[in-house]
Structure 1
Amino acid sequence: MMVNDPNLFWFGCVLWLVIIWLIVSLRHSNKVDSPTESNTAGAREIEELRQECLRLREELQMQSKQLKTDFQNATFSQLQTLLNNYPSVRKMTEAKPDLPAKNLVSLFTSLDNLLASWGYEQIGSAWEQVPYNPQLHQPDTNDIAEGELVYIRFVGYREGSRILSPAKVSRTLPISSPSK
């Protein structure tokens, strides 16, 4: 298996340098110390190096996970406007099939797949009527009460319990609502 992670390359380089240093220091200690003392010291050094290697591997794995999370967050913030608006555009094209945007909707399937692979979930569906929840929704006016029925104008997103962007809601739908 070929791994192209530059962090693993540098980790391998450091590991080789440590091994070379260990060999040189063992040879030097064999000349200075008695064989029994050098074996004990060498075993101790080997165990310390093994522990350091394990620690560095764990640190590398944690850094890798953090880099993935940082990448996802940065990518999401760059795509947030598109992600918030395209479900509404999709719903409008279903309601008005003569809109030229209908041909573009299929292009967004890859975004759905990307979000699913990251574990991001939509908050509601475009034009869905739901009870207003201030933790999940951003109202278009300040006088909407909790539990009041509202329509989702633009979906929001969350990752588990963390809200990435709240769904934008309103008491009314756009002028041309879908026929049921």
Structure 2
Amino acid sequence: MNQIDFTHKLQSLMQQVGISSFKSLSRAAGVSERQILQMRQGKIHKMRLEILMKLSQVLHVSLDELVESFSGSREVVNREQVNSQDLDLRTQVSNLQTEYHRLNNLLQTQQQSLHQEFQQSSIQILESLLLQWPTAAEKAKENPELAAVKIVPLIQKPLDKLLQAWGIEVIAYVGAEIPYDPQQHQLLEGAAKPGDLVQVRYLGYRQGERLLYRAKVSPINNSL
């Protein structure tokens, strides 16, 4: 039995979404014109699932509707008459959707788990700061003469551990006199040429090969 020419049906769907030619449909869906010809000839059962999904999205019809509308011979096609190949397509779609939802749920669970692990590891590193800093701060309020040098380690040690855990390195320390490197240093004042001695005023940081913050420096002659 001769196959039905589905060209007019396809053109009708194209008009509804403002696509004027088969070439335009090919470009919009990212499929070849040969694959579109297969659909026009009723050979949808020979087309790959990914091609049908692209066409259904561009034409704004469900995959089921697309398969049913462009299947069969000259006889009227309904759900009871859909051939085994079309049913197989539906099964593939259903399996694909199930797998998508499973992977999406798995990804969300993994993201939550990684986020919780990150928080927990950070909290463990900052444990001494979280537990001791509030008490130290309160003691400082009660006794303004308390030496700051006694409180600084409560902050510095946890911070050093955290930077080490994250692979973050310091670009020279405050007060250090080093050769000026415009790639790693930012002048706060004055002028300097590469290689001139400058003094570090604020720390800079690197993480592996990536520069996070340039160290802020001042020329030696202008430093206070």
TM-score interval w.r.t. the shorter chain? 0.3 to 0.5
Select the structure of larger CA radius of gyration: 2
**So what's the TM-score if we normalise by structure 1?**
0.46
Give me the TM-score of the superposition, normalised by structure 2: 0.38
